[in-house]
Structures are given as C-alpha cells and as structure tokens.
Structure 1
Amino acid sequence: MIINTGMRTDIPAFYTPWFLNRLREGFVLVRNPYRPEQVTRYRLSPDVVDLIGFCTKDPEPLLPHLDALEPYGQYWFVTITPYGRDIEPGVPPVERVLESFRQLSDQVGADRVGWRYDPIFLSDKYTLDFHRRAFAKMAEALAGYTHACVISFIDLYPKVTRNFPEVLPVGREDRLALGQYIIQTARANGMVLRPCGEGSELAPYGADCGGCMTLGILEKALGEGIRAPKQRGARKACSCHITCDIGAYDTCAHLCRYCYANTSREAVLQNRQRHDPRSPLLIGHLQPGDQLRQAHQESWRDRQGRLF
C-alpha cells in the first residue's frame, strides 16, 4: 500500500523526530479529521507499505535521515514558490529550498522527486511577468534534478478566503497565457508540466493532464509494477492515486495565507503545543472513548511486472 504524509501538514519540515520514531516503532495512529474519536492504526512495515509519499516546502530536516527510508519506496514533491513572507511567513528562503531539493535529488534520484510551483495567484505584486521571471529562474536551477513540474491555480476554499480575503481567482485568459509559458520553459529544462486539478485546458499546449501522482508515476519511482485497488482522487478533477494520509490538519507552521489545511494561526499554535514526538498520534495522545481500529494493509507490488 501507499502511505501519504503531505496532504494535511508538512511532516519533514516540522515533525521529523516524530516521523522517525514512528518508523522505528513500526506503526502510527491517525485520527479521522471529521470524526476525531475514530483512530486508525497503520503498520509502517516494508512488508505492507510499498511507498511513502511526501509533500513538503522544506525537506532539509529529513535529509540527514534518508537511510531510515531505504526499506521503502518513496516519492517526493517539494513545493518552491516565489512568494515573500507576506504570503508564506514560515517558509525558508527560496535559494535554501532549491539547494535542499538538489541534495534530495542527488540522494534519491530525479525520478523520485517532483517540483510543485503552486498555487499560482495574481496580484499587483505577483503579476504574470513576475511569475514568468521567477519560474524561469527556478526551472533553470532545478534542470537535471527532476523530470516533473506540477502547477495549480489557486482554489478559493472557505478557509482560503477567510485567511486571504483579498485574493482573486485567476481568469482563463491569464491561466492560458501563463500556462503556455510555463509548459515551454519546463520542457526547455527537461521537465514535463503536469497541472494539478485543472482539467485539460492546457493539454493542447503540451501539458500532461493525466494526474501528478498516478500509479504510473509511482511505479517509476518504485521500479516495480503496482497492482492497487481503485482509489478516488482528492477532488473531483483529481486523477491521482490518493490513499491514507498520516498527518493532521491545523498543524503546519508555514502559515501560508493560501493554505486549505489550516483554519487559523491560533489553531496551529495550539496544536503544536500538544505535539509529543513520542506519541503515536501526531497531535496529543489516545483519550478515553477513542475507537481504535487496525487498518487492512497489504503490499501492492507486482514483482513479476518489474520495471527497468
């Protein structure tokens, strides 16, 4: 099976000691975000976990510990965007994340790490020309270190509009203009451009609109075929293979204003005070009345269909 870590928070950036403890102890507990009394126990054994997926804005804290991941397949998304601290107050400087990306790629391989340039939004400061210049500079810095770039345009979820009220949707004309430039620039630097949840409007210009974490992508990272049950994507427009996530909402201290996973800064700070690196739960501990169940897990590797 596949374990995801990055749809609800940024585990490498803020919870590396906890994650390493979970790998050492061989299991993790995850609360249902919509029914918190329901807790699922997942084994973290290579016998049943084929691949661990990461999505982070700062892989640096986990880089010295990549040997702990050797028994597992892995696939990384590293998000690098050009926004300042007015938008991403807790994200490290771009040059530092670019260097961490290159170090990660050197250790795990370019087929196991992808670059996310998202979400894209426009403002008086962050204009089309600004994005063109920023994307071109980053793409050149990452050439040869990844073969994939993922973009998306900002989605105005209720949490986003509450925490970022001045943000506006990106119109179709601007999406096409910027999308075509990004596709061409990515291609020039050896990358396939994959829009995330954007439908197929960029397909005529050379984008791969088939999904950014499909079984084919994960099979290439794993080096083996995967016979996985059908899964539903994270959203209606999502074609990716999304399984369980071991993170928790309202825990990411990057505090990006566009974040869909945080309700508020106060909620994040309160939860981080409850974090115990020794607990099997990311936040807090088991409580009386919690309903604990063991997840059904099995390996999906198709060892006869090994990829070369």
Structure 2
Amino acid sequence: MTWKKANIIIDGRKMEVPAPDIISASRSTDIPAFYADWFFHRIETGYSVWNNPFNGKKNYISYRNTRFIVFWSKNPKPLLPYLPILKERGIGCYIQFTLNDYEEDGLETGVPSLTERIETFRTLSDILGKEAVIWRFDPLILTDNISVDTLIEKIERVGTEIHNCTEKLVFSFADIDSYRKVKANMTDSGIP
C-alpha cells in the first residue's frame, strides 16, 4: 500500500512522512485513557512520532489528510472534552469501547467502575451516535470462578444497560498461553 505523503519540519529539517486519511489510534496503548491530552496536542502540532518497539526506529505520521480516527479504549472518558475539536476539523471518529464486566473478578484493575464506564458509553453514544460506539466484550475469559453461564450473564447484564447505545458487539476469546505476560499476571494473582 502506498500512503499519501506530507512534508513536516523537524529541527529545521524537512521530512516527507506518511499522511493517511484514516488513523487507527491506540492499538498498542490506550491513548484515550492515558494520553488524550498528548494526542490532541499532536493533532494541533500536525504530526506524531514514536519509536518502533521492535527496531527502535522513529516513525512519523502527519495528520494533514486525516479525515477519520478509530480509537480503542477501556476508558475513553478523557476524550469527551476533545470531541468538539475533531468536529471543528472535519474529522470523524468511532470508538472501539472495551466494556467488560470483570470488576468483581479482579481481572481489570485500574479502570473506572462498571457503572461509570456504562455512563461514559451512553454519553459517547449521545454525542457521536450509536453507530460510532462499538461495544467490545473482549476477551471472553473462563476461569475457575467464571463459567460459560456466568460469562453469558455478564454480557447480558452489560448489554441490557447499553443495547440502545450501540449497533455492534465485538468479542474474542482469550488464548492466555499466547500471551506470556498476561499468563504470568493471572498466575501471580492466583487466577487459573
């Protein structure tokens, strides 16, 4: 695939960098939850740079042609004050909102309460439209304490709260053996 290009100035040096129409933000880190301020500062600046974790090489991207952004988040609430900026710039977005019910199981620490996340989901749906907020119950996890029936009850409980706020549910199954860090964290937490 050939990306559109744009010129940016870095340290007085002109560089030609990719300038895509669509940005998939936050696949490797939760930008909305932790870096919304940074991200929107970068949009104002016109470009972002990050180090590739595999080869250490700096990668640049220009926002000159950006018309749409896909955000991925477990807590997109920090995006709320920035949504008008996207609208002003003519940039559309949708949010892949991971909204799980593992609160009592201790599987997702560090996220707001389920009640607060459901309220954020509803607010985003009101602002962006229900077609722009994709519900992700991801991953589906079975443990000694979470049976198939329990998992279905969890999905139904969340779905009952947000069914009028979205048009799509995306889910996946956790293959814990493929993720050594996740497996180690679960083992350390005593969750088989």
TM-score tier, shorter chain, comes to: 0.7 to 0.9
1:125 alignment partner in structure 2 = 145
Of 108, 111, 126, the match for 1:91: 111
- Alignment partner of 1:82 is 2:104: no
Q: How does 1:127-166 map to 2 (within 5 A)?
A: 127-156=147-176, 157-165=179-187
Task: Give how far 1:155 is off.
Answer: 2.0
Aligned-partner Cα distance in 2 for 1:6–1:125? 31
2:66 alignment partner in structure 1 = 49
- Structure 1, gaps ≥5 residues long: 169-308
**Which amino acid in the other structure matches residue 113 of structure 2?**
P
Aligned-partner Cα distance in 2 for 1:147–1:125? 30
2:86 alignment partner in structure 1 = 69
2:11 alignment partner in structure 1 = none
Higher relative contact order (CA 8 A, sep 6+): 1
Task: Give how far 1:129 is off.
Answer: 2.2
* Partner secondary structure for residue 150 of structure 1: strand
Task: Give how far 1:60 is off.
Answer: 1.0
- Alignment partner of 1:60 is 2:77: yes
2:58 alignment partner in structure 1 = 39
- Alignment partner of 1:116 is 2:116: no
Task: Give how far 1:144 is off.
Answer: 1.7
1:237 alignment partner in structure 2 = none
- Segments ≥4 residues shifted beyond 6 Å: none
- Equivalent pairs counted in the alignment come to 165
Q: CA RMSD in A?
A: 1.6
**Which amino acid in the other structure matches residue 120 of structure 1?**
L
Task: Give how far 1:160 is off.
Answer: 2.0
**Which has the larger helix fraction?**
2
**Which amino acid in the other structure matches residue 23 of structure 1?**
I
* Partner secondary structure for residue 144 of structure 1: helix
- Structure 2, gaps ≥5 residues long: 1-20
Task: Give how far 1:100 is off.
Answer: 0.3
Q: How does 1:270-281 map to 2 (within 5 A)?
A: none
Aligned-partner Cα distance in 2 for 1:41–1:128? 44
Residues 66-97 of structure 1: per-residue CA shift (max 9 Å, x gap): 01111212121111111127211101111100
After TM superposition, the score normalised by the length of structure 1 is 0.51
- Alignment partner of 1:103 is 2:123: yes
* Partner secondary structure for residue 116 of structure 1: strand
**Which amino acid in the other structure matches residue 61 of structure 1?**
P
After TM superposition, the score normalised by the length of structure 2 is 0.80
* Partner secondary structure for residue 164 of structure 1: helix
**Which amino acid in the other structure matches residue 139 of structure 1?**
G
CA contact (8 A) 1:23 1:68 kept: no
**Which has the larger strand fraction?**
2
CA contact (8 A) 1:110 1:145 kept: yes
Task: Give how far 1:167 is off.
Answer: 5.8
1:10 alignment partner in structure 2 = 30
CA contact (8 A) 1:52 1:75 kept: yes
Aligned-partner Cα distance in 1 for 2:115–2:150? 17
Residues 240-284 of structure 1: per-residue CA shift (max 9 Å, x gap): xxxxxxxxxxxxxxxxxxxxxxxxxxxxxxxxxxxxxxxxxxxxx
* Partner secondary structure for residue 3 of structure 1: strand
CA contact (8 A) 1:121 1:167 kept: no
